[in-house]
Amino acid sequence: MGSLARLSLAAKAAMVVPRLSRDDASLRASEAMAPDELAGLQRTRAMDMARFAFRNTRFYHDLYSAAGLTGADLDDPEAFESLPVVSKSDLRRAHDDFVVPGVPMEERLPSSTGGSTGEPLTLLHDRRAPTAAMWWRVYRWWGVHASSNKAFIQRERRSPRARLRERIEWWPTAQVFLDARELTHESMTDFTRQWNRHHPELVNGYVGGVYEYAAFLRRSGLPITPPLAVGVTAAPITPSQRQFIGEVFQAPVYDQYRSAEVPWIAAQCAAQGGLHVLSDLRVVETVDDGDRVMPPGAVGDVVVTDLCNRVFPLVRYRLGDRTSVLEGGCTCALPFPRLAPIQGRISDVLRLPSGQRISGGLTGLFNAQPHAVRQFQIHQHADHSITLRCVRGSGADAVAVITRAADELAALVGRVVPVTVELVEEIRHDRGKVRVVLSDVPLSPQ
């Protein structure tokens, strides 16, 4: 079956959708570039996208004009970091003004955020973007061929008709799905039956969903054929979760950075030394509260530019996450810059009665001793008190480590609100996603 699938995919790429082969060849060529050469290509494409957005959308024309920028200013490659940053509220307020007029409807692909971490957003992707070649690239880094059977644990948004069409398009490659919104004993048992029928070489999905399915396999004792790789996304993964998932699936676990607004932003390679930004297709910056670009190593808000979307341009868009840029290259020799693991969302903050906000150090409480917890969650209640909710890990000192982490958290908030520990058997997910920080404190009016 493997040889047939590879031949079928090659034939489709060559004859049915020749753009797939061209896209794949272009992305492979970028991987062979020197870092400086690739950075130059990225700068050229970034300013080209900014000029395109300025000339073709009402939103960017008005935004840049209000900032005193002209078309001539956008010819300067050094002007990119001075372009205004776009917010999620901009998308909600002026959605229609982001749309490039005159693009055929068949080239527009509607997309929406899940809403589990805030108010949902709707936007458009560009069907002409090399999306398939992007995931071919990343899967190739993980040792998985594009034609291999795959399993997915994520939110299922396609209609039955769309699923059937995709099954026919990719035959004989099989794709097995577990809807992260319905992680029941019955659904996971059925998923296991499909898994052992198709023997996927990759399982890819939300951290919370993949972890819960791994826990189900451990509890039930049901066997599966090990995949070659496990990919996780949608939330920070703790070292303990990574170890547990890897043990259950008997495969390496790779982190990746994706979003509904900009798919395939960054991913780990086999060396797992940070997440490589797909910088021939994306620009990722980290900025401070004043939108100034942060130096490598400094944690800031993620601002991303999609260099492929000419239907609904996103140029210097504040995605809502926090991380830092890593210095130096990777042992894999890929030319792409790297990000540290995503630390959490901008909204992952604790609020003190005085109005002070605490956002640093929240996701790293157990980094030094990851064995102590399988999962943890910081829940701030409406009265500002905090519960550190933990699924206990291995080791006789787990409770002591959790107690010290709670004291560290109390010190982080200045010991002005009580911090208590709650040991639980599981932490509930929302459609396969688990928030590290939950807050019931009402937002203060701005």
Q: What is the pLDDT of residue 375?
A: 82
* Measured CA distances, 141 to 50, 136, 137, 234, 267 (Å): 30, 9, 6, 20, 9
Whole-angstrom distance, CA of residue 239 vs CA of residue 390: 14
In which element (H, E) is residue 153 found?
A: strand 150-154
Cβ contact 97:58 at 8 Å: yes
Tell me, yes or no, whether 362 lies in a domain: yes
Q: What is the pLDDT of residue 77?
A: 84
Q: Among residues 335, 17, 282, which one has the least CA distance to residue 134?
A: 282
Tell me, yes or no, whether 364 lies in a domain: yes
What's the number of domains the chain is made of? 1
What would the two tokens of residue 60 be? Answer: 């960017």
Q: What residues does 109 pair with on adjacent strands?
A: 125
Residue 131 contacts by C-beta under 8 Å, 6 or more apart in sequence? Answer: 125, 263, 264
Tell me, yes or no, whether 412 lies in a domain: yes
Q: What is the pLDDT of residue 433?
A: 63
Whole-angstrom distance, CA of residue 28 vs CA of residue 43: 19
| CATH number of 371's domain | 3.30.300.30
CA angle 351, 353, 359 (to 5 degrees): 20
In which element (H, E) is residue 150 found?
A: strand 150-154
**Amino acid identity at 148:** S
Taking only Cα atoms into account, the Rg of the chain, rounded to an integer number of angstroms, comes to 22
Sign of the alpha-carbon dihedral angle for 179, 185, 186, 191: positive
Tell me, yes or no, whether 370 lies in a domain: yes
Cβ contact 323:336 at 8 Å: no
- Please list the rounded mean pLDDT of every run of 10 residues in the chain (446 residues): 62 62 94 97 97 98 96 91 95 95 94 61 93 94 93 79 73 87 91 97 92 93 98 84 94 95 95 96 96 94 97 96 92 96 73 78 73 86 94 86 92 92 83 73 60
In which element (H, E) is residue 18 found?
A: helix 18-31
CA atoms within 13 A on the CB side of 364: 12
In which element (H, E) is residue 233 found?
A: strand 229-233
Tell me, yes or no, whether 434 lies in a domain: yes
Cβ contact 434:427 at 8 Å: yes
Tell me, yes or no, whether 383 lies in a domain: yes
Whole-angstrom distance, CA of residue 442 vs CA of residue 332: 46
CA atoms within 13 A on the CB side of 126: 18
Tell me, yes or no, whether 194 lies in a domain: no
Q: What is the pLDDT of residue 155?
A: 78
Whole-angstrom distance, CA of residue 53 vs CA of residue 59: 8
CA 251 to chain centre: 20
Cβ contact 322:301 at 8 Å: yes
Tell me, yes or no, whether 114 lies in a domain: no
* Measured CA distances, 338 to 24, 288, 325, 335 (Å): 21, 19, 6, 9
Owning domain of residue 428? 350-439
